[in-house]
Structure 1
Amino acid sequence: MQNSENARSKISLIGRAIKYLSNRDHSQFELRKKLSPHAISEEELDEVIKKLIDKGYLSNQRFTESFIASKSKKFGMRKISQVLQQHQLDSEILKTEIEKLRESEPQRCYEIWERKFGQVTKEPNELAKQIRFLVSRGFSHEIVMGIVKGKHLS
């Protein structure tokens, strides 16, 4: 009976993992955290994670690329980097992907500013509002100041 229960729970754990992964990519850390309450043991959880990696269902690289693609239209490099670091990803993956993001940072910041505000202002309160908004989105102060002062307008 014990083996039967273990087989059922293992299938259930793998099924649960595949269900999560079918909705969107997850990092290993995030998936482990979600599956942990349902696992009988750490060994079972390790085995399931390993199987998912071996079959190509789970990939930190793919998760990172997917996350950046979905968030880069709204957020700056600092904010995205901060969230990704919480997923305990390999530093080389992070470094490579964040470096790619750095190249498009001024253009992405400008596009967000243009959608939200659209014009340079001399009004101190409005200028402060624009700066706060862009900095809170994770863009660097240097890039933000260039955009709100009209230096990066294209």
Structure 2
Amino acid sequence: MEKLPLAEQMAQFEQRCRALALRMTPQRLEIFRLLAGEAGHPTAEQLHQRLLAQMPTLSLDTVYRTLATLVTHGLVRRVVTAESQARFEVALSEHHHLICRRCHKIVDCCWPQLDSAALPLPADWGRLDCCTLTGYGLCRACQQAETPAVAPPEALKPP
């Protein structure tokens, strides 16, 4: 999945905020800028810690309220995880997530076959706007760390 250049993401963000009549506060701009430049899926607490150096009066409550506003308007996506802390990302395109149960790393993945599949919805259900899959397992690094070391041959074992 390719990300747009940060300047282009910021321009689109400002345009969408104007269209939604959302004020362009310094907090909104910096929270979105940080998320747009992120490779991962940070928590509100992580975003707050990263922004404190440049915005020392920024409260954690402001970060939470700003993220809630951006999520409500579809500018940021809350990544659903099994852990209690919400994770966030810029909502650029529909995609799915793979989450490591040990280190909690989240990786984006595209699955066009799933996206185009007809889902078996009950006839009286209504309209489905979005469907994402979250897969849980062990990332390669955690899986390799779990693999026991190969025992040395008998000739190399200490007496």
TM over 0.5: no
Structure-2-length-normalised TM-score: 0.36
Structure-1-length-normalised TM-score: 0.37
Which structure shows the bigger proportion of residues in strand conformation? Answer: 2
Instruction: Report which structure shows greater RCO (CA 8 Å, sep ≥6).
Output: 1
Which structure shows the bigger proportion of residues in helix conformation? Answer: 1
